[in-house]
Structure 1
Amino acid sequence: MTRRLIACGLVLTAFAAVTACGTRTPDNASQTLPTSTPPSSSSAPASSTAPAGNSGAAAPAVKRCDSTALKGEVAPTDAGAGNRYGKFVVTNSGAMPCTLNGYSGFQLENASGAVPTKLERKADPGPAAMTLAPGGKASANLHWGVVPSGNEPVEGPCQPEPSKAAAIPPDETAALTVPWTLGPVCSGGRIEISAFYAS
């Protein structure tokens, strides 16, 4: 009798151990364990929304002033002792701002074509970057002589008389045409020109 009770107790103990180790029953058969820890609120990805008032779009680049955006004129400023002074003035005639920095090309011309021109750059003032708003102006100083030199004729014009100039804006290749009504330029068409400055 005692042996039967011991054997029965062993069977009951083994059954209880198997049940405690997680034997599937109809009540827990559909349960699954998570494979990873759910993200906490502190590890959530940061918002990609841009700050208020900032669309995130880059501002459009301001283009260089070219011959399609500029209108030019040459205006006299002073004269004396065979010297002439003037300004080459450009105006931004476009609808958008543009940048200007440096020296203009400048070739005297008339109805027959190019007239002798020797352009000499002077740093008075030197190059400085600027932005011209629509309608904004910039100037370059000009200086030339009207006294014949070398083998230039003493009577009559020292050089063919120009009626216009082809001026190329800094870092561009296409010229704009400006009227020239200031007579011949002696010394082989020598003109001193400064860099552009705001005016």
Structure 2
Amino acid sequence: MAEADLVLMVTAGRGPAECRVVVARVARRLAEEAAAAGLSVALDLGEADEAAASVLVALGGEGAPAFAAGWTGTVLWVDEALRGGRARRNWYVGVHRLAKPARTAPLSDADVRYEAMRAGGPGGQHQNVTESAVRAVHVPTGLSAIAREGRSQHQNRKQALARLSALLSAVADRAAAGAKRSEWLDRIEVERGNPRRTFRSA
């Protein structure tokens, strides 16, 4: 990963099933805000996924650490409809910054598809008019990572591949931790109260 790259985990911890719905919503909101801030984003959540116990979000770009700091902690999502209008309406999930993976998942060139795209976002005229951004797609899993901060496709291809590799490593680390699920959940316990951010369903 580049120096500014990092991985966040959005997690329901030991929360009820409804918190898994909120995890997916918060991960998407986080990714949308990161992209709007000009950061490169990769997450292990498909478009059709409506619930997840945890979601990994990889961020890249010079502003990634500061952006992540504004999200790390507890997120409160207020939604009375999640439990059919019954009493509970406050749902808490946690956002944790993960340590950089100790290993990097090996990637075969045959397993990665590259797509050129408009860079977009902050960065001036050069970014907006050239197809310098690159999306790297891991074909076996469908996971993808985007790099747009470089000035050339070559630079962004390298960054996207590194970001995708980091995301795959984090996914593998999470799967391995599943064997020690109780210990893992203790590490990512969600604090109820003192939310860093609050969202309300429309």
TM-score of the superposition, structure 1-length normalised? 0.25
**Which of the pair is proportionally richer in helix?**
2
Structure showing greater radius of gyration is 1
Relative contact order (alpha carbons < 8 A, sep ≥ 6): 1 or 2 greater? 2
**Which of the pair is proportionally richer in strand?**
1
TM-score of the superposition, structure 2-length normalised? 0.25
